[in-house]
Amino acid sequence: MSDTEHNGVGTLDWVLILAPYRKDASYTASLLQERGVRAKAASTADLGNLLAESPGVLVVTHEALDPAAIATIASFLQHQPNWSEIPIIVLLDRAASQVRIQAALNAAWPRSRQIFYQRPVAALELISGIQSALLTRARQRDVRDYLERETELRHELNHRVKNILATVVSIFEMTRRGATSADGLAEDFKGRLRALSNVHSAVFAAGGETVPLMDVANSILAPYSSDRQSRVIIEGPEVLLSREAGTTLALCLHELATNAIKYGGLSQPEGRIRLEWKITSSSEPALTLTWIESGGPLVIDPSRVGYGTRYMRAALTGLFGEPPDLIFAPDGLRFSVRGLLSRLSPEPTD
């Protein structure tokens, strides 16, 4: 967005000249334009409209300051945003009383930034003063942009904190419904919060609103790959996930890992886990993610579906748009889910 489009505020890099007599306006404009500074001449009639375009500096001769012009400038100054303070350069004739004119202008334009030059003024001195004033305006604009960015960040932080707290409440309710003891509740809740923390750390390390799927997988499964012979194999192309998709997948991988530790491929020393994903494309790219366990105890199809499994099915169906496949094969649990990449990633992936 350009500065002209930014809340109706102009770029602040040009000069408005109010000098109706002689050739002061055209002369000053020519001097500025020779040095690459844009300038516009104004009359009292169109002064208000040109001020609304937000010049960086206003140059005015004292004879141009009739009551109508003074009132128009006063109205503009009164409605300036808090960050803005337009420099007003007043060109005085040698015989003019600077003390009297300055007192009158201070009364009409309280707390305004006024700079006075006595004519005739050297061209270099005037140009230098105007360029210095424009630099001040550029710094004001930078402060404005910084303050607005800070406001955006505060709103964004507030939104994210609310989302995180809502996720924590949801995780607690999910854990509470599946708990059989207070110790079990505490342990499962702590593990799920750790998974949530890990994925947020991965997003922060990625430095944006997306997180690589590989980082999500490693953040959850790294503790099981720390021995000499990794018990977890993770393979797949680079895929960027949105923050929400990364959080959901992290919690689901945590559920799978927890189940593998208790009952499956990680419950015995020779057990292994293989997590892999691939991208296929027909009309639209799709992501297929697969979890395969091996080397664990004989798998028996459970008579009752636990809450963690129900959560994964519901969460992944909502995320991928298709229900996952969960197969309790005798030689190891197999889990897969497939969906359009556009549902998970805000950015195209090669």
Question: Using H for helix, E for strand and C for coil, what is the string for 75-99?
Answer: HHHHCCCCCCCCEEEEEECCCCCHH
Pair of tokens at residue 145:
């942009």
Radius of gyration of the chain (CA): 34
CB atoms within 10 A of CB 237: 12
Bridge partners (DSSP) of residue 40 are 16
Rounded CA gap, 68 and 74, in Å?
A: 10
Query: Can you point out the beta strands (E) in the chain?
Result: 14-18, 38-42, 57-61, 87-92, 113-118, 210-212, 232-235, 240-242, 272-281, 285-294, 325-329, 332-340
User: What average pLDDT does the chain have?
Assistant: 82
Rounded CA gap, 151 and 145, in Å?
A: 10
Share of the chain above pLDDT 70, in %: 85
How is 197-221 classified by DSSP, letter by letter? HHHHHHHHHHTSSEEEHHHHHHHHH
Query: What was the pLDDT predicted at 7?
Result: 40
Query: What was the pLDDT predicted at 3?
Result: 42
Q: Give the chain's residues under pLDDT 70.
A: 1-10, 156-157, 159-160, 163-164, 166-167, 170-171, 174-175, 177-178, 195-196, 199-200, 202-208, 223-229, 305, 307, 347-350
Alpha-helical (H) ranges within 10-55 are 24-34, 47-51
User: Which three-class secondary structure state does DSSP give residue 231?
Assistant: coil
Query: What was the pLDDT predicted at 10?
Result: 55
Pair of tokens at residue 221:
């499964």
β-pair type (210-212, 240-242): antiparallel
* CATH T-level topology, domain 3-145: Rossmann fold (3.40.50)
220: exposed, middle or buried (Cβ count in 10 Å: 0-12, 13-18, 19+): buried
Phi-psi region of 279 (alpha: psi -120 to 50; beta: other; left: phi over 0): beta
CATH: 1.10.3720.10, 3.30.565.10, 3.50.50.60, 3.30.420.40. Which one for 179-343?
Answer: 3.30.565.10
- Could you tell me the residue ranges of all domains in the chain? 3-145, 179-343
